[in-house]
Amino acid sequence: MSEREARGGDPRWITLAGCFLCYGFDAVDFMILALALPAIVQDFNLSLGEAGLIGTAGMIGVGISSVLLGWYADNHGRRPALIASVLIFAIFTMAVAVARGWNDMMLLRLLAGLGLGGVWGIVSALINETWPPHLRARASSFVLSAWPVGFILAALLAHMLLPAYGWRGLFLSGGLALAAALFVLLFVPESGVWRQEKARRRTIHAHGGVSLKDIFTEGRWRRTMLATAIAACSLTGYWGTNTWLPTYLVKERGLDPGAMTTFLIVMNIGMFVGYQFFGYVADRIGAKKTILFCFAATTILLPVYALIRDLSLLLWFGPVVALFFAYFGIFGAYFSALFPPHIRSTGAGFCFNVGRGISAFAPYVLGEIAMSFSLSTSIALCGIFFFLAGALMIFMPEAGAAAREAGPTPSRPAGQAA
């Protein structure tokens, strides 16, 4: 019996669904903190800089996680690594509900980050190894479009839970992610490409393990470092904006919490549409050109958004800006193409999540800037980082050339869709 018959469905679509669920709850977890920050600041009497450090602690955990869980996924399988990632961040997010102060928050967010950072690289590798090249950018963009869906779900949870149960009740809802881990455990098959590559390496070598140094050998160091720098710049701009966006809308634009969640939902609908549209565009004209276009648009539009004071215009301009945040969906297919199968999760996860770890200080630094100037100034300055990311992207290869240079993907075993 083939794996497809044993599991009762096409592994491409089951994998797509499982990855979408896991990455969606990854986003819920990140957004819960941003939505809870105004209440946490008030309860614990924190400065904006201290509140920003809570976000920084989580991002440091993310940077560490990308290395540890990427290595685990390449050596022991995509599926167990994905389950472990979700379990870690779900458990420690729920634990934040009993935090007694700032020190507890810092520790628990660091521990939650140790799970959060693993998801991106693992789902990107799974999609790359399950879907054919001509559909890969669209499949990757669809899975990673779970990010704005997760943001919308988090906003809805905040709308329902914050008034009645406070920020502690909101963090308890992080346990919903356990359903995604259960789905992967019961239904998502292991990557056939990973199994075949693992067997091949065991045949050639007495020990078929993968180490972190492999993503820097055989001439890979330059593209690894460039891709990490691109992720760091773009994620600094993104997290600098999104960590403070709820607080900015409440404190500087005068929205009540209910209206603020409406603004965020509308904005993330625009991001979801962007993921689908630019995933299609990337399959047609290439990932590199599409990412460069998104960076250029964000560089221009984000400062404009930060300066808008009219609330109606601010509401409808939000999804226009968020449309171009869709390059994160293309990153999944593009970064995976930079590395051969046996180091794909380690390599792609390292570039994206170490970049995310480097961006960890963005919430703190921009919070400090906001104390001297304003949050709108901090958000406007984030456009500079998207410009830097675009400048670095010019020196990267197109996705097709990157995949050829990275090495051939092993043929799929019987029963796995091409």
In a domain, 183, yes or no: yes
In a domain, 28, yes or no: yes
Higher-confidence residue of 280 and 364: namely: 280
Q: 162-215: per-residue pLDDT in tens?
A: 889 999 999 999 999 999 999 999 999 998 888 887 777 666 554 456 667 888
Global model pTM greater than 0.85 = no
**pLDDT-based confidence at residue 99 (cuts at 50, 70, 90):** very high
Quote the tokens at residue 180. Answer: 């995604």
CATH code: domain of residue 99: 1.20.1250.20
Residues whose CB is less than 8 angstroms from the CB of residue 91 and which lie 6 or more positions away in sequence, other chains included: none
**Is residue 211 within 8 Å of 346, Cβ to Cβ?**
no
Dihedral, CA of residue 240, residue 322, residue 153 and residue 50, to nearest 10 = 10
| Torsion angles phi and psi, residue 301, rounded to 5 | -80, -30
Q: Which amino acid is at 188?
A: V
Residue 356 sits in which domain range? 8-187+214-406
**Is residue 57 within 8 Å of 106, Cβ to Cβ?**
yes
| Torsion angles phi and psi, residue 48, rounded to 5 | -65, -35
Quote the tokens at residue 386. Answer: 């998207």
In a domain, 285, yes or no: yes
Task: Work out how many domains the chain is built from and give that number.
Answer: 1
In a domain, 207, yes or no: no
In a domain, 333, yes or no: yes
Q: 236-247: per-residue pLDDT in tens?
A: 998 888 878 888
Residue 30: count of CB within 10 angstroms of its CB: 25
Higher-confidence residue of 64 and 403: namely: 64
